[in-house]
Structures are given as C-alpha cells and as structure tokens.
Amino acid sequence: MAVPRPPAFISRQVVDGRYYFGELTPPPDTPVAVACAGCEDCAADYRMVRRYFRYHALEFIDNGQWRLRMAERTVVLGPGSVFAYGPAGGYRLEALGGSPLRKYFVDFSGRQAGQLMRRHGIPGDRPVSLHQPARMREV
C-alpha cells in the first residue's frame, strides 16, 4: 500500500517525522479545527522560511539550539521554547546544533483559531519559555 505524500508545507529537511493530518480545508463556518500536528527530528541544516502560512501554528522546541527571526527580532531558542505564527506574519527558523534537533507543532484552522490563541495568552510575535517543558512533552 502506498503512503500518501505529505502536504507541501511539511519540511523535507526532516530525518524522522510523525504526523497527524486532520481537517486541512474545513468548511468556512468551522470555529476551530486541528489541521495537522507532528513531531520532527530535523536535519542539521534545517532551515524554514515562511512568508505566509494558511494556518495558526504553535511550535515547541524539545531539543537542540535554533535561531528564530520573527517580527524584525532574532532570538536563540532552546529546549522548552514555544512560539506561534499565523497568516498575519512570517518567520525564519534555522537549526544551530544539538542532537536530536526535535520540535513539535500543531496547526489550527477555522474562523476562531487566532482569537482562541490570543485569548489563552499565546503571543504571536515573540517566543516564550515554559517553566516545565517536560509536561509539554507528555502532552
């Protein structure tokens, strides 16, 4: 049985990836839907540049060191860092080193997705560090 090719927005710079694909294109009246989620062990030369992304996304850095450029700001991320982005803004993420270079993500769609993230304190313009990153891994 052939394995379907992942959508084009999934990076090809992944050594090992595990994914869930849900409603990639939900009906327009859908409040919130999980489009996809995944865990990626990334290649040492991983680099993602997004000028636009159709979903609202949340990424959790589990391991490694990364450079994130977002909203004219550049920061170095390490384990426990979380950042969000969406249709309103782009970003650039580059692996700096570490092993494995692992990150998790979840992408949301729907007419209330952005509002829901803001209401729950998920900033869309700057990363935050979790006080208990092991709990996020468990989730």
pTM of the model: 0.88
Give the residue, 114 or 3, on which the prediction is more confident: 114
> Could you read off the pLDDT of 49-83 as tens digits, one per residue?
998 899 999 999 999 999 999 888 999 999 999 99
Average pLDDT over residues 97-115: 90
Q: Which of 95, 88, 109 is nearest to 61 (CA)?
A: 95
Q: Which of 10, 12, 11, 31 is nearest to 21 (CA)?
A: 10
Average pLDDT over residues 88-94: 89
Whole-number Cα distances in Å, 106 to 2, 20, 72: 25, 9, 24
Average pLDDT, the chain: 88
